[in-house]
Structure 1
Amino acid sequence: MRGRAFPATVEHMIDVHELTKRYGPVTAVSDLSFTIRGGAVTGFLGPNGAGKSTTMRMILGLDAPTSGSALVNGRPYRNTPRPLTEIGALLDASAVHGGYNAVTHLTALARSNRIGRRRVAEVLDTVGLTDVAHRRVKGYSLGMRQRLGVAAALLGDPGVLLFDEPVNGLDPEGIRWIRGLMRRLAAEGRTVLVSSHLMTEMALTADRILVLGRGRLLLESSIAEMTARHRTDVLVRTDDPTRATTVFADAGGQVTTEDDALIVVGLPHTELGRIAAGNGVVLTELTPRSASLEDAYLRLTADHTDYTEGNADVDSRR
Structure 2
Amino acid sequence: MQKNILSQLKFDTLIHPLVCFNDSNNYFIKRDDLIPFSFGGNKVRISFEYFNDMFDKECDCIISYGNIRSNLNRVISNMSHSLSIPCFIISPNDNNESEITFNRKISELMGAKIVNCSKRDVAKTVEDTMQHCVNLGYKPYYVYGDIHGKGNEKIGVNAYFKAYQEIAKYEEENQEKFDYIFLASGTGITQAGLICGSFACEHKPEIIGISIARKQKEGKNSIDNHVEAFLSKQEMTMLSTKKYSINFIDKYINQGYGKFDLNIEQVIKNVLRFDGIHLDPIYTGKAFSGMKKYILEYGIEKSNILFLHTGGGPLFFDYINSHFMNRGI
TM-score range, shorter chain: under 0.3
Structure in which a larger fraction of residues adopt strand: 1
Flag the structure with larger Rg. Answer: 1
Structure in which a larger fraction of residues adopt helix: 2
